[in-house]
Copies of this chain bind each other. A is one copy, B any other.
Amino acid sequence: MAKQPHLDDFLVPFYGNGKKSETFALTDYDTAAKPFSTGTKQADRERLAEFAVRLDEMQERLHAQRCERVLLVLQGMDTSGKDGTIRAVFHEVDPLGLRIAPFKAPTPDEAAHDFLWRVHAHAPAAGELTVFNRSHYEDVLVPRVLGQLSHGDLVRRYHHIRQFEELLADSGTAILKCFLHISKDEQRRRLQSRIDDPTKHWKFDVSDLEARKQWDEYQAAYRDALTATSTERAPWYVVPADSKTHRNLMVAALLLRVFEGLNLAYPPAKESLKGITIA
């Protein structure tokens, strides 16, 4: 890129912005790019460490204020680094102030409800920072690729997602959605390294290979889901994620920007406490 990169260059056009949505393509984004790299891996790591400390400060203010809520949604193909992102970006955040909600294949009880039922239960409360590790977006990806969802049902689900996220936003939830974008080649390397290291076999599920066979179908499903659900109050960003360091740096930068937009301040001192001496 010739011009200075900006986080919003990686914003998925908002739903309803017809022309821009139509021309949006994941292939336009280089998975190996490192637009927010500061130069060297060492410098990037130092930067991330700074960001991590600032995120902790922001989370403490969020918690102190008990008013706003922050939700980070992480999606991406297998091995795209959702787990690693959580670990790196939130390394300094107080575990008391962070809630991770992982969504796996629905249980029979979950599947017996509407697809947003189990997700809603994990929406952040006032003062909470919640990360969805996978999310309701799985429900417009997997069943679509497996051919279990009609086009009409798929479009209705997009609609329900937009409405649901608007409800959360109306209740004071700042929402950030990140698609961790890796190449098929990079996934091959990562899966292979799990196979080559017997201590990592427990991370490996043979069904990952099935999903890999449908790489193109999943990319198309992601493209459609992203363009149908990127909105001003719940925007999607494409995060080039072949480089783990860059991926972490960019997610942290996006999240920090969300926090900064909240103008979080500590609650005012309580007059009633002034001058009290504890006996």
Which of A14-22, A26-34, A96-104, A154-162 contacts the other chain? A96-104
Which of A107-115, A116-124, A140-148, A263-271 contacts the other chain? A263-271
Q: In the complex, what residues of B have CB within 8 A of residue A273's CB?
A: 195, 201, 204
Interface residues on A, range: 35 or more
Q: C-beta contact mask, A48-86 vs B, less than 8 Å → 1, else 0?
A: 000000000000000011100000000000000001001
Are the C-beta atoms of B98 and A195 separated by less than 8 Å? no
Task: Give this chain's copy count.
Answer: 2
Q: Which of B65, B98, B209, B274 contacts A95 (CB 8 A)?
A: B98
A80 to chain B minimum Cβ distance, whole angstroms, is 15
Q: C-beta contact mask, A247-269 vs B, less than 8 Å → 1, else 0?
A: 00000000000000000001111
Q: Is A39 an interface residue (CB 8 A)?
A: no
Given contacts A188-B279, A202-B266, 6 further A-B contacts (CB under 8 A): A86-B96, A87-B94, A96-B102, A188-B278, A198-B266, A201-B270
Q: What are some 6 contacts across the A-B interface (CB < 8 A)?
A: A64-B203, A90-B95, A95-B100, A96-B133, A192-B277, A199-B269
